Structure 1
Amino acid sequence: MTRFLFSLVLLFSISVSAQLKSPAEFLGYELGSQFTRHHEVVDYYEYLAEQEPDRVKLTVYGKTNERRPLIMAYVSSAQNIANLESIRQEHLKSTEGGGSSDKAIVWLSYNVHGNESVSTEASMQTIYELLTKKSSYLENTVVIMDPCINPDGRDRYSNWYNQYKNTPNQVDPNSKEHHEGWWGGRSNHYMFDLNRDWAWLTQVESQQRLKQFNKWMPHVHVDFHEQGVNNPYYFAPAAEPYHEVITDFQRDFQVTLGRNHAKYFDANGWFYFTKEVFDLLYPSYGDTYPIYNGSIGMTYEQGGGGRAGLGIITGNGDTLTLKDRIDHHFTTGISTVEVSSQNVDKLNSEFKKFYTNKNFAYKSYVLKGDEDKLNALKSLLDKHEIEYGDLSNGSYKGYDYSSGKSGSISVQNNGMVVSVNQPKGTLVTVLFEPSAKLSDSLTYDITAWSLPYAYGLDAIASTSTVAGQDVTKSAKNTSITSGSYAYLTDWNSMNDAKFLAELLKEGIRVRKADHPFSIEGKSFARGTLIITKGDNALKNDFTQTLQAIAKKYDKNIAPTSTGFVDSGKDFGSSSIQMIEKPKIAVLSGGPTSTLRFGEIWHFFEQQLHYPLTVLDDDYASRVDLNEYNVLILPDGRYGNHFNEDQLSKIKDWVRNGGKLVAMGGSINAIDGEKGFGIKRNEMDKEPEKNTPQPYEDWERERIKGAITGAIFKAKVDNTNPLAYGYGKDYFSLKLGSSSYAYLTNGNAVYLEKDAKPFSGFAGSEAQKEISESLVFGLENYGRGQVVYMVDNPLFRGFWENGKLFFANALFMVD
């Protein structure tokens, strides 16, 4: 650029700077002096878009559960904004091996955790600087800014802080303003961690955001976070383990960016660290998911979080202010755009290479199973824009997920195939691979997630390319003939559970089969739903309602003219029990985990669509439990939470016919010493060797007793009503080494002796602990039941094959 042109650009920037209001000028207070509510952030971005329509394009891409807008700003030069769609189209050609893009696409994501609130504040300073002093970076770069991924959580935190803070703010860490309550601002409305939902897409924020991500597929993606108040700033390069599909260029460019950030941090005397703690393995983060789509994905972590408020005294006696935190995130954000604008050609050429160089061990993943489960997986793949094909007939060889070795499966009109020979091939490999290779067992999250296990499908990983086939699906019989004695339908999936839930809500009475039977030449399994005309004689619109619900859920309905079976139990037998309409309560607050409670809340409201009552721990002991027939205790840290009177009340309620569902850590609060039948496994431990260990090895010694999200093959007793709809095996995602002995009776799912993980990491000592242990079990207690769920069938809402166990606990156990 000549001196004359440079002067013109400088004059233009000064002129714009004089016209545009800074965040402080617009909001009426200096950034860092208070927390900005979400609607005020939106106002500022709208103001910039109105003032600079040639350089800022603002879109609303969705809404949260609490109806707050999700906004996205595209920031670039006037010429680039005018040609934004053609730039996008040219860039996307790279995913097909073509195109000649000459722009860098940089995506900056802020505030995915609501109480890590500094990043949204920093976003306003960042966009202002890009439009003023740093506008030269925009000549060859399109910056996409999502100023607040989690508006519901952010406002929950900012409103709480503005309510409880001292005036002026108190830096003493003991003050109330540094201690959020049980439901902090980190999560979204349903208490889900949105930073762990990129791949699973259970939440509306994630689903709407991914549609925009797929439209752009950025070269660089940054996810801004906060960590503990005593930690210095973290930026890339990341820690090991890196997933093996990550390219050398993705590794190297993280270093390039990190060195540039360090230059600015060094000049200011700010502390930082790299290559520690935050690894690149689990695929559902805001750094890894973009990486598996070709981006340079990164997490930036500022010390602070919900405890820091406007200022706090740290462990070393310094005062960390919100202004400090803003400065740090602003610096790395601007530095990211700077480096990207300096490396446009390299980013484009390497992005294209990412999509053309595919050399994976497995070329195709062949799956078969229940149609509802296949459809559930297809729904997820559609959201990711992953291509798949149906399979009609054939036998396929490869790695057998069920046996853990070479094998084959035969498909007969119940199969599908997902190939890596497509633009999303790398993501396919990561999501479907039987077991991720670990370069280091010290990881930040779970180490196993393979979709065939999560969705309960038989699968083969093939080294050959398998093509999809045309499949003619036979039409389901969803019609209801009014003259039939009864209507029968299967029980195998969450779709079936939704169907049943809606029938019960609509007042239709339903029975279940506790034994296999055959009638009129057809065979039916345990759990089959039996809907008789006689049970519903008083419901005038019975057939019309049943017809509408069957059609809604695409349920195959088998009418029968008789209740006299060919084999098994007749429909009037005591073995054909009426399903009691559950009236369900769940404990919240106090000892319960917000994340685990949120999974249950979301399951009922957004998946099963069935009502539940939330009983907060503050007053739950004063509630008459007889108003409910099901009580759920979410996982958490209970210790001796229930006193003697509370335990006695719960036991009496169960004894008189109540159903208690105890999950994870809540089992400790009611175990054998407290009155119920479940007992912890007592392990015979070998005497510890008195050999001094290096201090630096303590963490690796510790993980010998840990399980970091590993998949184990468990045995299933599918004669147990808790396991209706399952086969003889279940792949369970274990998140820890809690171990309970087999029940005297009622072991629905359990690990056998010397169980080993099929996928993921489990320490040697932890494997010994969980040998011969309960996974899911059922205890009869008086006229009631206690359901034990040691593992979590609802984990993060994505372990699809576990959800029917939870539905069984509600509907099938009696």
Structure 2
Amino acid sequence: MKKLALLSLGSLLLSSSLLAPAHATIHTEFTLPSALYSSDLMTPENYLGYPLGEWHLRHDQLNGYLKLLAQQSAKVSLEDTGFSHERRQQLSVVITSGENQKRLDEIISQRATVKAGNKVDGPLVVWLAYSIHGDEASGAHAAMALSYYLSASNEPWVKQLLNDMVVIITPSQNPDGMDRFANWANNNRSNVLNLDPNNREHHQHWERGRFNHYLADLNRDWLFLRHPESQGRVALFHKWQPHYVGDFHEMGHRSSYFFQPGVPERTHPLTPKQNQALTDKIANYHRSELDKMGQPYFSKQSFDDFFYGKGSTYPDINGAIGVLFEQASARGKGVNSPNGAVTLERAIQNQFATSISSLKGTLALKKELHAYQIEFFDKQRNKAGRQEGVLISANNDPHRLQQFAEILAQHKIDFEYLNRNINQNKLTFAKQDSLFIPYGQSQHALIRALFDKRHSFKDETFYDVSSFDLSAAFDLQLAEEVNVSNKYQTSSIKNHTPKAITPESVAVLIDWQQSNAAPFLQSLLAKGINAKFSTKPLTVTSGAKTQTLGSGTLQVLLNQDDVNRDSLVATMETEAKRHNVNITPVSTFAAVSGIDLGSPNFVPVTPVKPLLVTSDSTNPMEVGQLWNFLDNTLKVPVTLVDADNLSRVNLSDYSHVLFAHGWYASLSTKTADKLKQFAQSGGTIVAQKGAISWLKQHKLIQTEVFNSKQANELFDTKGLTFGDQDSLRARKTIGGAIVNIDLDNSHPLNFGVTNNRIRLMKNHIVAFEAPKAPFISAGQYHQSPLASGYMAPEYQQHYPKLHSMIAERIGQGRVIGFAENLVFRNVWLGSEKIYSNALFFSNGL
């Protein structure tokens, strides 16, 4: 391999626009190891028509080459893990000896028994996965080269490797983002290499290739599984149950090269110590390979092994060794840095090198890796019996419970439903609406992780969230460490059958507590069916039974102008079944108690036509989460408008203007005045987190906002040394803690929420001071605000004085503010209802 002559910069810093000095060697060519290659396999260069790295690869080029290799080589087969949102096929290559390929089904069957305790001693399974962030492109290019190399090389060590190992290579884990970035980089590069970091080539549009179609960071979705790319990836993991997973990324161009172990004190306590020891042993092979190349590197700094929702940590809680690699990124063809010129070709060379070192290291440690995995699952199964575990209830919300059950199933976690009611810890777990997760199974550690509620940590710095308790995300009723007899368990639940609407029925009521009531309502509105919602509770008779329904209950009259009754009834029954929603037909407008159906406390639902503000002023991930929620959960058509174009849009065409987390400094006072006029004329503005500060600055809300300036005053900095800066910064950061919010359930924003307390993910300092009359808070931080994760004691003492949700009237309209992201990563199903209320019930505020 070629060596890169690095610039010796000493204490000098390069200007950001300075090109590499003339004497510097700029690595602009990727080279494969010198070896004897099979002549009947096409090289990447011949396939592309140019040297690898000369242009950024598109995803169709990758897939085309993988399919060609599978046709040309008996050592190669393909794994198809489904499609991305934009319908790009997700392919991986499986490379092993021809003999192993012939018995691949047998090997896969053996791998399926690993969790059950079988001491499978067949081929080692190594999975190398690249470019889950689409603009971290060197990994995808290295994967193409590695696929050819392993298929075509006749070196003795490669032959031994493929006899003893199955190598799975996934070149791109984010096809949509990869193509977005490739097109940007290729469209904006010049033929003459320009290393200036100010060049447009290095500054993508707002969406960036890092994210998928809905602007999700797929490397935060391994646990939550909200996207098809993640679902296919996790299915592949459990199909093969690999011993080792290499997760290849890029970082800022000013860095060198990183590989794990990460910061030792920031490893999740549920990860076995032997996992980190083996990671460090394999790291010696990376060190050796990069030393030979003259490539600087570092480990045990910056990056951690805490959140199990990332590609390098998910394997650690599932019996494998996961290793993160981070290469300095050119984010284009090439860019200057303090370490010299970073080129795409050099980045490919480094990623290829650590791919090879991963294979050499795991081959050398084959026996240890086999033994580690067997011991890991033995310990999990022996930690508890099948009758000890966790009881879960979603408070009679079948959709939310089913969504949670689907996540468990995809993670290969065993669970059963209850066939009779159980009272536990003063809570009732109803049959068919509750499930039991036994601890005595191979996924014991993962179960513990999913409900982890720790508050104290050796190191208070987190690369991502400090808590990821799924019982909070789904607003589940939970009883841990309980014993449930087998006679209380059943593997299935009865299918829901909606009540029949009879000829005597005059109206249908829908309990708003059901998660799917909001998408059900939208399906009716989209078909021109009118509905109302109640602002007070009521009790009615339906058939022979009496039913009490809370505020937010929907009413649909069965005699509506311009809608045929028979057609309306058929639509109601069809949509109720499709959405798994219980309906309550009534034959009288009179209530048993509470408001009658003709009461003015039933308010018409106005069809929702939202505008979502996007572009550079906004956080793309949170915009994407709102977009995904509106598009795929509610199925509400949403108009995405760049912030810079907002002043040119006729806002009266929309019912709501939605602001995700962002900065919005580019928005003018003129735009603020236009938004104020929109609200005064009856429109609704919904804003969260950082957008709230902009609203306050432009006097669109009256409530005072707590932000970083006030937060700084909470911390005593007397006597701190220069070395204390990092610790202080970590204490001031709320990187992702779960907080308790006390709700006013009489407030329309909280209609349908079953509890008077909810847990939300908080990853931003902003909150509201006590609202002034006549403005009423919908949610206030609990006296013990921290539910799980890390939050500085200073915040824990102060936040009980603050509020999380407000709604203010402004003329005929209203402004709604949320200090948290209620649809966090599209997995926080417990609070989605509140955002739905801000859309459908805003005219009741």
Deviations 1:582-608 (A, max 9, x none): 111111113111111100111112222
Partner amino acid for 1:37? R
Contact persistence 2:111–2:239 (CA under 8 A): no
Number of the residue aligned with 1:60: 80
Contact persistence 1:655–1:784 (CA under 8 A): yes
Change (3 A) 1:195 1:569: same
Number of the residue aligned with 1:250: 275
Query: Quick one: which of 690, 698, 704 aligns to 1:665?
Result: 690
**Distance between the aligned counterparts of 2:42 and 2:456, measured in 1?**
51
Partner amino acid for 2:103? N
Number of the residue aligned with 2:110: 90
Task: Give RMSD over aligned pairs.
Answer: 2.2
Number of the residue aligned with 1:794: 823
Q: Report how far residue 352 of structure 1 moved.
A: 1.1
Change (3 A) 1:67 1:125: same
Structure 2 gap segments, 5+ residues each? 1-33
Q: Does 1:388 align with 2:415?
A: yes
Q: Per the alignment, in what secondary structure is the counterpart of residue 705 of structure 2?
A: coil
Contact persistence 1:489–1:556 (CA under 8 A): yes
Partner amino acid for 2:770? Y
Q: Does 1:412 align with 2:445?
A: no
- Superposition map of 1:350-361 within 5 A: 350-358=372-380
Query: Quick one: which of 65, 74, 83 aligns to 1:44?
Result: 65
Change (3 A) 1:684 1:26: closer
Contact persistence 1:90–1:99 (CA under 8 A): no
Contact persistence 2:700–2:815 (CA under 8 A): no
**Distance between the aligned counterparts of 1:494 and 1:394, measured in 2?**
22
Query: Quick one: which of 285, 303, 315 aligns to 1:278?
Result: 303
Q: Report how far residue 422 of structure 1 moved.
A: 1.7
**Distance between the aligned counterparts of 2:455 and 2:827, measured in 1?**
18
Change (3 A) 1:729 1:392: farther
Q: Report how far residue 656 of structure 1 moved.
A: 1.0
Q: Report how far residue 32 of structure 1 moved.
A: 2.3
Contact persistence 2:244–2:322 (CA under 8 A): yes
- Superposition map of 1:593-604 within 5 A: 593-604=619-630
- Superposition map of 1:523-534 within 5 A: 523-534=548-559
- Superposition map of 1:561-576 within 5 A: 561-576=587-602
Change (3 A) 1:656 1:288: same
Q: Does 1:681 align with 2:702?
A: no
Q: Report how far residue 25 of structure 1 moved.
A: 2.7
Q: Does 1:749 align with 2:774?
A: no
Partner amino acid for 2:557? T
TM-score normalized by structure 2?
0.90
Partner amino acid for 1:632? L
Query: Quick one: which of 88, 106, 122 aligns to 1:102?
Result: 122
Partner amino acid for 1:718? N
Partner amino acid for 1:387? D
Deviations 1:463-521 (A, max 9, x none): 65664524875954332223311111201143111111111111111111110111233
Change (3 A) 1:686 1:500: closer
Q: Per the alignment, in what secondary structure is the counterpart of residue 750 of structure 1?
A: strand
Change (3 A) 1:573 1:370: same
Query: Quick one: which of 195, 208, 218 aligns to 1:171?
Result: 195
- Superposition map of 1:134-533 within 5 A: 134-239=158-263, 240-304=265-329, 306=331, 309-316=332-339, 318-358=340-380, 363-368=388-393, 369-372=395-398, 373-393=400-420, 395=422, 407-413=425-431, 414-435=433-454, 438-462=457-481, 464=483, 467=486, 468-470=488-490, 476-520=497-541, 521-533=546-558
Deviations 1:33-63 (A, max 9, x none): 22122111122212211110x2000233211
Change (3 A) 1:234 1:489: same
Q: Report how far residue 532 of structure 1 moved.
A: 1.0
Change (3 A) 1:588 1:360: farther
Partner amino acid for 1:746? I
**Distance between the aligned counterparts of 1:436 and 1:348, measured in 2?**
34
Q: Report how far residue 395 of structure 1 moved.
A: 4.9
Q: Per the alignment, in what secondary structure is the counterpart of residue 183 of structure 1?
A: coil
Change (3 A) 1:725 1:17: same
Structure 1 gap segments, 5+ residues each? 1-12, 398-406
Contact persistence 2:530–2:556 (CA under 8 A): yes
Q: Does 1:72 align with 2:92?
A: yes
TM-score normalized by structure 1?
0.93
Change (3 A) 1:171 1:383: same
Change (3 A) 1:782 1:296: same
Contact persistence 1:366–1:415 (CA under 8 A): yes
**Distance between the aligned counterparts of 1:25 and 1:42, measured in 2?**
15
**Distance between the aligned counterparts of 2:716 and 2:505, measured in 1?**
72
Q: Per the alignment, in what secondary structure is the counterpart of residue 670 of structure 1?
A: helix
Partner amino acid for 1:555? V
Percent of aligned positions with the same letter in both sequences? 29
Q: How many residues align?
A: 787
Change (3 A) 1:762 1:322: same
Number of the residue aligned with 1:6: none
Deviations 1:755-780 (A, max 9, x none): 33121000123334533212122112
Change (3 A) 1:55 1:553: same
Q: Does 1:127 align with 2:152?
A: no
Contact persistence 2:138–2:348 (CA under 8 A): yes
